[in-house]
Amino acid sequence: MRIRRSSALALVMFVAGIALGGYLMSHQNTRPFVPTVEAAGDKVTDPNAPAPGRYAYYPGTEALGPDEMRVIACGTGMPSARHGQAATSFLVELGNGEKFLFDIGTHSMGNTASLMIPYDFLDKVFLSHLHTDHWGDLATLWAGGWTAGRTQPLRVWGPSGKTEEMGTKYAIEHFLKAYNWDYQTRVSALADAPGQISVTEFDYMGMNQIVYQENGVTIRSFPAIHSGDGPISYSLEWNGYKFVFGGDSFPNKWFIEHAKDADLAIHECFHLPEQMVKMYNQAPPVALFVATKIHTSPQAFGKIMSAIQPRHAVAYHFFNEEETRYAIYEGVRETYSGPLSMATDLMTWNITRDGITERMGVVTEEAWAVDGPVPAPNNEPDDDPNAWFTDEILAGKWDVSDAEGQMIREFMEAFPSAFQPQN
């Protein structure tokens, strides 16, 4: 019988998620568990004070230090849907206030939104490639942020392709064409600018090329090997720290060269072929090819990390559950003995000069959008909310003014300046 986690039990996920970076080196060759005493936080001496050394991260309750980086796994899973684990997305937060999303796979925005970060701070997305499990939730950030108070266009960076129609620019342009009904019917009632997407496409063959450089942050790309030409990996450097996100890739020489000296190195670590046959419904030849030629096996992941020697390694891109994690972990430990996290959704890393702390995020299931420093924008004065209606459809409206009229008057009286006639 397969054992499944409840998404509500975040702390149980922490214990079941394999000790990860805090696991003692002396236990490398055994199945890792965190003793309860080690997971209980630091000593409490004041009954009225906050508990020190919390082993869980509660978003929005901790100031990020000016010399600190925080990375949150907003999606770590597979292309197929799973309630408890979204597809790939990692949020990087820096002590200078900058925030970056690396990939935005299907269902990942549920986790990102649960962090309750104003959408104006979630306006920069860096895509590694164009598989749906790496950019399939762009629509949710685009429309969700637009309707929930983002004040400026969404910005997307991504690689070119072997041909023009295989690149990021083509994908975003046709994304907007596919969602044209959505766009046109919203833009007549909402501010125009937040509904736009700015695209920066760069050469997928660029070798450690700078694709972003602002506010002391430098993001570089280098090629990856995955399914065809186009995919890339990223490094982010800021304030002497280095974060590396591999995206999806077969082991390659460019990652070995350009991921060295990383504080946090994230690389895919795929299911074993037998797991793909047993639990992912793939034929044995397909499972073997996908797990070892399209993706990176646990043993190969370990060899990569042994070569680049990051301060902390993060393995992702597998359904992290009782029936899978131990065999994957043991495969990694055949070739790597350093600090390691077996990622699952909402796992959080705080990176400082003194060390790297891994915790599980604890979030609300009922998050709302949060106000940012810039007030939510109004629509344009000349917007016509009926622009996409015909007279025949408008003629079908049923009068409910007697039912809602009082409520509407009271609302408008509560916000008098918002309903003054505009010149």
DSSP character string of 275-330: HHHHHS---HHHHHHIIIIIS--HHHHHHHHHHH--SEEEEESS--STTTHHHHHH
What is the structure's pLDDT at 422? Answer: 62
What is the structure's pLDDT at 46? Answer: 84
Comparing C-alpha atoms, which of 323, 341, 330, 337 is closest to residue 30?
A: 330
pLDDT digit string (tens) for 281-319?
999 999 999 999 999 999 999 999 999 999 999 999 999
| Residues near 291 by beta carbon (within 8 Å), at least 6 away in sequence | 270, 271, 272, 273, 276, 297
What is the structure's pLDDT at 45? Answer: 83
The token pair at 271 is 């299911």
Q: What ranges do the domains of the chain cover?
A: 11-39+63-361
Rounded Cα–Cα distance for residues 189 and 207 (Å): 44
Residue 138 has pLDDT above 70, yes or no: yes
pLDDT digit string (tens) for 49-96?
777 777 899 999 999 999 999 999 999 999 998 999 999 999 999 999
Are residues 125 and 157 in contact, defined by beta-carbon separation less than 8 angstroms? yes
Rounded Cα–Cα distance for residues 225 and 294 (Å): 8
Residue 217 has pLDDT above 50, yes or no: yes
Asked whether the CA dihedral 191, 183, 147, 76 is positive or negative, the reply is negative
pLDDT digit string (tens) for 38-52?
344 778 888 887 777
In degrees rounded to 5, what are phi and psi of residue 358?
-110, 130
Q: What is the 3-state secondary structure (H, E, C) of 362-395?
A: CCCCCCCCCCCCCCCCCCCCCCCCCCCCCHHHHC
| Residues near 348 by beta carbon (within 8 Å), at least 6 away in sequence | 57, 70, 71, 72, 73, 358, 359, 360, 361
What is the structure's pLDDT at 293? Answer: 96
pLDDT digit string (tens) for 122-131?
999 999 999 9
How many residues are present in the chain? 423
What is the structure's pLDDT at 15? Answer: 40
As a whole number, mean pLDDT of residues 396-420 equals: 94
- Which one has a higher pLDDT value, 44 or 139? 139
The single residue listed with the structure tokens 């070569």 is 307
CATH number of 11-39+63-361: 3.60.15.10
Comparing C-alpha atoms, which of 64, 123, 120 is closest to residue 94?
A: 64
Residue 35 has pLDDT above 90, yes or no: no
As a whole number, mean pLDDT of residues 226-241 equals: 98
What is the structure's pLDDT at 17? Answer: 47
Rounded Cα–Cα distance for residues 125 and 198 (Å): 10
Lowest mean pLDDT among 52-56, 135-139, 238-242, 353-357: 52-56
The token pair at 186 is 């919203």
- Which one has a higher pLDDT value, 6 or 170? 170
What is the structure's pLDDT at 210? Answer: 98
Residue 5 has pLDDT above 90, yes or no: no
What is the structure's pLDDT at 240? Answer: 97
- Which one has a higher pLDDT value, 174 or 1? 174
Confidence band of 11 (pLDDT split at 50, 70, 90): very low
The token pair at 370 is 């949060």
Question: What average pLDDT does the structure give for the chain?
Answer: 90
From the number of C-beta atoms within 10 Å of its C-beta (0-12, 13-18, 19+), residue 239 rates as: middle
What is the structure's pLDDT at 23? Answer: 39
Residue 7 has pLDDT above 50, yes or no: no
pLDDT digit string (tens) for 89-124?
999 999 999 999 999 999 999 999 999 999 999 999
Confidence band of 423 (pLDDT split at 50, 70, 90): low
Comparing C-alpha atoms, which of 17, 4, 15 is closest to residue 345?
A: 17
The token pair at 210 is 């700078």
Rounded Cα–Cα distance for residues 335 and 315 (Å): 14
The one-character DSSP state at 96 is T
Are residues 153 and 198 in contact, defined by beta-carbon separation less than 8 angstroms? yes
What is the structure's pLDDT at 333? Answer: 98
Rounded Cα–Cα distance for residues 237 and 258 (Å): 12
Residue 239 has pLDDT above 50, yes or no: yes
pLDDT digit string (tens) for 348-396?
999 999 999 999 999 999 999 999 999 989 888 889 999 999 999 999 9
Are residues 196 and 153 in contact, defined by beta-carbon separation less than 8 angstroms? yes
> To which H or E segment does residue 159 belong?
strand 154-159
What is the structure's pLDDT at 42? Answer: 79
As a whole number, mean pLDDT of residues 384-412 equals: 96
Are residues 370 and 116 in contact, defined by beta-carbon separation less than 8 angstroms? yes
**Percentage of residues of the chain with pLDDT beyond 70:** 90
Query: 251-261: buried (b, 16+ CB within 10 Å) or exposed (e) per residue?
Result: bbebbeebbee
